[in-house]
């Protein structure tokens, strides 16, 4: 789907102090951006930011980086910033997720959120899915041992694909999953909904969720 260009979006993103414009220069040094050594979680494909803002408010001792490829989408998140009392534990990147390993170093990230990612339904595009083995290999390089991937979607085919990909991964293990999140109390407790999640839930569509853990390297 072609996104509508919003006049002024690029200028607004460029002017926002919460957007890191040269993220490659901070590889291995992201603690400097936040001025502390707290865990860093990233949301890949953050959309309009509802989930990220909710997480940051609920967990002030965690630092959050929202990653969005398109300035027209990132603009909507920027517009939600409270200029009088901006969150200290949020930053944004306008980059392609394929560049994660050029931006973050080994063991620099503690958690990854993938929310309602593009399903890329055609088989020839499977490598572009954010839960494909190609992306799992990227996450493997930046997540700490014991770090987590949390994935939510309304697309059952994508969810089944994700379970299969993680199931054969050497680096990750699915520890919890459900095909009806809002009727699964142990996974729904403290759940923060995205814009899409709220919309689909109102339509009665079940939401799938999985949590995968980054395995520890047992090689001496």
Residue 3: is its pLDDT beyond 80? no
What does each C-alpha distance from 139 to 114, 142, 160, 175 come to in angstroms? 12, 5, 19, 17
The whole-angstrom separation of Cα 15 and Cα 144 is 32
Q: Tens digits of per-residue pLDDT, 82-131?
A: 777 889 999 999 999 999 999 999 999 999 999 999 999 999 999 999 99
Residue 205: is its pLDDT beyond 70? yes
**Average model confidence (pLDDT) for the chain?**
93
Catalytic residues: 118
Can you give 127-144 as a three-state secondary structure string?
Answer: HHCCCCHHHHHHHHHHEE
Q: What order of strands is seen across the sheet that includes strand 208-214?
A: 90-93, 63-67, 40-44, 109-115, 143-153, 208-214, 172-178
Measured in degrees and rounded to the nearest 5, phi and psi for residue 64 equal -125, 135
Residue 6: is its pLDDT beyond 90? no
Q: Tens digits of per-residue pLDDT, 41-72?
A: 999 999 999 999 999 999 999 999 999 999 99
Task: Give me the percent of the chain exceeding a pLDDT of 70.
Answer: 96
∠ CA(105), CA(158), CA(118), 5° rounding? 65
Domain annotation for the chain: domains and CATH numbers: 9-214 (3.40.50.150)
**DSSP track, 15-76:** H-TTB-S-GGGGTT-HHHHHTS---EEEEES-TTSHHHHHHHHH-TTSEEEEE-S-HHHHHH
Region 126-149: mean pLDDT is: 97
Give the number of other CB atoms < 10 A from CB of residue 118: 13
The per-residue pLDDT for 147 is: 98
The whole-angstrom separation of Cα 149 and Cα 143 is 9
């Amino acid at each position: 789907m072609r996104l509508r260009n919003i006049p002024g979006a690029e200028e607004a993103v460029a002017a926002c102090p919460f957007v890191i414009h040269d993220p490659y220069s901070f590889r291995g040094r992201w603690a400097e951006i936040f001025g502390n050594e707290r865990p860093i979680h990233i949301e890949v494909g953050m959309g309009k930011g509802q989930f990220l803002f909710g997480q940051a408010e609920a967990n002030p001792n965690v630092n959050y980086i929202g990653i969005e490829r398109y300035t027209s989408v990132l603009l909507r998140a920027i517009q939600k910033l409270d200029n009088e009392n901006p969150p200290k534990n949020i930053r944004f990147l306008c980059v392609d997720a394929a560049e994660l390993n050029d931006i973050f170093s080994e063991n620099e990230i503690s958690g990854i959120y993938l929310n309602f990612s593009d399903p890329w339904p055609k088989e020839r595009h499977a490598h572009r899915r954010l839960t494909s083995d190609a992306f799992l290999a990227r996450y493997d390089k930046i997540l700490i041992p014991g770090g987590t991937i949390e994935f939510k979607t309304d697309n059952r085919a994508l969810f089944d694909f994700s379970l299969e990909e993680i199931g054969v991964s050497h680096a990750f293990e699915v520890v919890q999953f459900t095909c009806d999140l809002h009727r699964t109390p142990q996974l729904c407790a403290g759940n923060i909904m995205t814009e899409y999640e709220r919309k689909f839930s109102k339509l009665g569509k079940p939401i799938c969720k999985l949590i995968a853990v980054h395995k520890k390297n047992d090689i001496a």
